[in-house]
Structure 1
Amino acid sequence: MINVRERLLEVLGAKFRIPADHVNDEATLKELDMDSLALVEFTLTVEEEYGATLDEDEVATLNVGQILARITEQVGEGAQ
């Protein structure tokens, strides 16, 4: 069983150099200093990691909590 939150924090740290202690559910990716290219890369990474799809335009306006909810909805009840 994957832990969506933990894995997302790992991805944000490793791929986008965003420390886990800077990430909270209310923060948007733009507030975490991700530019438009990074947002596109993020949506592709989410698809690769989880098999979940996020709209590239919408992801810029969602906060981390909303992104986690969308991923969890798509990967099923087995995810945390």
Structure 2
Amino acid sequence: MNDVQDRFYSLLGAKIGVETESLTEGTTLESLDLDSLLIVEISVAVEKEFGVVLDELQLAPERTVGEVVGTLDGRLKAAS
């Protein structure tokens, strides 16, 4: 795992109450039963943790955790 993935998995696990070991790159956000409020909370937490904004499309239910990490990683690289 890279640093971005590690940090995102920890953030996600803390927000939804799951062990980070149970998360994989193929885990969909839908399978984690995220409602719209949790998606907003995750978006805010990502902004605080990483300094970048992920909107609702990037946190859509059909997206996988791996896709979100990839988007986040790309945004961080573009910002630096």
TM-score by length of 1: 0.80
CA contact (8 A) 1:43 1:54 kept: yes
Residues 1:65 and 2:66 are matched in the alignment = yes
Alignment-derived partner of residue 19 in structure 1: 19
CA contact (8 A) 2:58 2:68 kept: no
Unaligned runs of 5+ in 1: none
Indicate the structure whose relative CO is greater, using CA pairs within 8 Å and at least 6 residues apart.
1
RMSD: 1.9
Distance 1:5 1:44 in 2: 17
TM-score by length of 2: 0.80
Q: What is the aligned-residue identity percentage?
A: 33
Q: Secondary structure at the match of 1:74?
A: helix
Query: How many residues are paired up?
Result: 76
Unaligned runs of 5+ in 2: none
